[in-house]
Amino acid sequence: MHIKKSIPELFKSIDNKDMEGFLAFLDEDVFFRFGNMPGIQGRDNVRTAIQGFNDSIAGLTHEIDEIFGEKEILACNGTVTYIRQDTSKLNVPFANVFKLKGDRIKEYNIYVDISELYK
């Protein structure tokens, strides 16, 4: 898997809430940070955190504007639409930075402001 070309597939798995598909992109010992939340270590901990987040929303979709970077660091940006449990939507810009280990993500940082999501 060439990770740069696979970024759209990564977001497809996220938008489909396909946990196993998402986790397949991550190194076993991945470091993961979502917004201003504390970082977590390890694929199993990411599974627990993402499952909790997915359960709190009805859905989400990502529109990627740009993917850039080379070798061991990639980044992308775009707009994410969160669908709340009441079916209202929140659109916000996002940027992700990935540090790679071979064909897996060893560090995954999401920069997004979800402060309005649960209002």
For residue 14, the domain's CATH number is 3.10.450.50
**What is the arithmetic mean of pLDDT over 7-21?**
96
Residue 87 belongs to some domain of the structure? yes
C-alpha distances (whole Å) from 99 to each of 64, 71, 72 are 18, 9, 6
Exposure string (b/e) for 37-56, b if CB count within 10 Å is 16 or more?
eeebeebeebeeebeebeee
Residue 119 belongs to some domain of the structure? no
Domain count, the chain: 1
Residue 91 belongs to some domain of the structure? yes
CA atoms within 13 A on the CB side of 56: 11
**What is the arithmetic mean of pLDDT over 57-65?**
97
Q: Which domain holds residue 19?
A: 3-112
Residue 118 belongs to some domain of the structure? no
- Taking the C-alpha atoms of residue 46 and residue 63, their distance in angstroms, rounded to an integer, is 22
Q: Whose structure tokens read 């070309």? A: 5
Kindly report the pTM of this predicted structure. 0.92
Residue 83 belongs to some domain of the structure? yes
Residue 117 belongs to some domain of the structure? no
